[in-house]
A and B are shown apart, each in its own frame.
Chain A
Amino acid sequence: MNQTIVSYLSQYEFYDVLLNLFGNNQGLLAFAIYLIVALVVVGFCATVGGLGTYAERKISADLQARMGPNRVGPYGLLQFLADGVKMLTKEDIMPYTADKFLFYLAPLLALVGVFATLAVLPWSSGFMMADLNVGVFYLIAISSLVGLAVFLGGYASNSKWSMLGGMRGASQIISYEIPVTLSVLAITLLAGGMSFGTILSHQEGTIVNWFIFHNPFAFIAFFVYGIGAMAETNRAPFDLPEAESELVSGYHTEYTGLRFGFFALAEYIEVFVVCGVGTALFLGGGNLPFNISIDIIPTQFAQVVIFVTKTCLLYYVVIWARWTLPRLRVDQLMSVCWKYLTPIAIFNLVGCAIWLVMFNGKSLADLVFGSH
């Protein structure tokens, strides 16, 4: 069955105490727990998104031998709050000929699509809001709302720059969904399930048990996933939808103030989410090393710390790639996806399947060091 954070917490004694507090109303308590956890997760991710802008500027400054933001707060840490206040106080401009309804809807759809993915993000083995049986599939499906939002934002602005940006965004996101999904499918094959709980439980133990080192095909699949995910989140070198040297700033050219903030926040949180998914699928997620399986609340928090650390390392790589690689042309973008990544991803999928049949599901480490 589907595991949730409520069913995880219900194994502890304090759950019964809470239940008494709520007058034995299971539904109400479950609702309260979900509400609190959702608020915590969304709040945390919004902060991560905000700090993402700070990290982006600081790391880019580092790569370009500059200082970066250093005035607001210690080391300029509060810069993102200052930016947020600036965005809130800006005038809310809407083009006279814009499609009002879609113009308002697009940034909201982007945020909804990103926040909905947080429901299945595996912070630890117990602290996931919902460990759906179709977890990975759900995540891929619901994040396609962001592509739709990019397209609608570009259309609704009624401006040529936005329009071109939106078109590029939609076609790019749809195209790169294919190699990403195929790479994820290869991992699903190895784990024998689409829920993050299943995938994580197969990667327990040491570093050699991670799926990235399961077999050579999975190793390639990680890089295909990484490239595809970078393109899906519209990050450089795939940031053609907002290419500032040709399209002003693409699909959000006409957006100001808070609505622009929504788009920016959605992008930074989406990067965090795809990095988290990459961590969970390939890099062992929040699993503690050496099968430490004491299932108490502190180990759960330790898992959260491990998960967030690995995710932030991937986040660093994403930012690093942005500031060191030049942008692709549109035709190059499409040929990378359709002529290289997709065939490689299909090859990986078939390779993983053959590996599973030939070696009876054993990983490379099992074969080298002898299986247990």
Chain B
Amino acid sequence: MFIELLFLTSALLTVGSAIGAAVTRNIMHSCVFLLGSLLGIAGLYATLGADFVAVSQIMVYVGGVVILMLFAVMLTGGKDFVSRAQNLLGLAPAMGNKWTYTIGLLTALVVVLTNVKLITNVVKAYPAKVIGNDFPSTVNQIGHLLVKEHVLAFELSSVLLLGALVGAAIIARPRRQG
């Protein structure tokens, strides 16, 4: 019962906040709605038993990305940055004309249908089964996977992050005169 309740709450939070983020005209409110949506997704991960991923989601997005976005929005104009143009229904800020929306809708339909078609075959061919494992928790499992099987990808991504860090430091460094 609780899993269902948790799922429903998280799903409603995710979808409701996503709609709110798209519909609101104030970009700061949009960011805060996005926060709700990301929290809802963390709840969905928790429902699936992926506790580590759920907490990482909160850590990365709530603690980092959303604050960064709020900073960026505020430094570039904050709430004065309100779009005046409206879409067809007069709800969301316009991001194109009716052709943009039509083509976007058609593309989304095609992508979704193709994926459903592909996934149905896979699911039919390999019926779901729970694979038992020897790990006491997901944390141990993720740790083992990261430093054993996927150690190359793990190290490469750390090099990438280091590159980003050095790049940011170079950009932010005060320029020498002359």
Contacts and interface: CB of A to CB of B under 8 A. Distances in A.
Interface of A: 1-2, 27, 30-31, 99, 101-102, 105, 132-134, 137-138, 140-142, 144-145, 147-148, 151-152, 155, 170, 174, 177, 193-195
Contacts of B59: 137, 140-141, 144
Contact of B70 (A137, A138, A155, A195): A155
Contact of A133 (B63, B70, B137): B137
9 contacts: A27-B1, A133-B136, A133-B137, A133-B138, A134-B51, A134-B52, A137-B55, A141-B56, A148-B67
Given A27-B2, A134-B52, A144-B62, A101 B29 contact: yes
Contacts of B70: 148, 151-152, 155, 170
A63 B51 CA distance: 46
Contact of B55 (A99, A138, A147, A174): A138
B78 interface: yes
Interface residues of B, number: 27
B144 interface: no
B62 A145 contact: yes
Q: Which 6 A-B pairs have the closest CB atoms?
A: A144-B63, A133-B137, A141-B59, A141-B58, A27-B1, A134-B55
Given A133-B138, A134-B51, A141-B59, A102 B32 contact: yes
B16 to A, nearest CB: 15
B58 A142 contact: yes
B101 interface: no
B78 A155 contact: yes
Nearest to B138: A133
B90 to A, nearest CB: 20
A305 B61 CA distance: 37
A134 B51 CA distance: 7
Contacts of A152: 32, 70
A170 B55 CA distance: 20
Contacts of A194: 139
A99 B62 CA distance: 21
Given A105-B32, A138-B55, A141-B62, 11 more contacts: A1-B136, A27-B2, A132-B51, A141-B58, A144-B62, A147-B67, A148-B35, A148-B70, A151-B70, A152-B70, A155-B74
B98 interface: no
B30 to A, nearest CB: 11
A141 B51 CA distance: 12
A193 B2 contact: no
Contacts of A140: 59
A301 to B, nearest CB: 28
Contact of B79 (A2, A99, A133, A193): A99
A132 B50 CA distance: 12
A163 to B, nearest CB: 9
Interface in B9-63: 26, 28-29, 32, 35, 51-52, 55-56, 58-59, 62-63
Contacts of A177: 63
Nearest to B60: A141
B81 interface: no
A141 B55 contact: yes
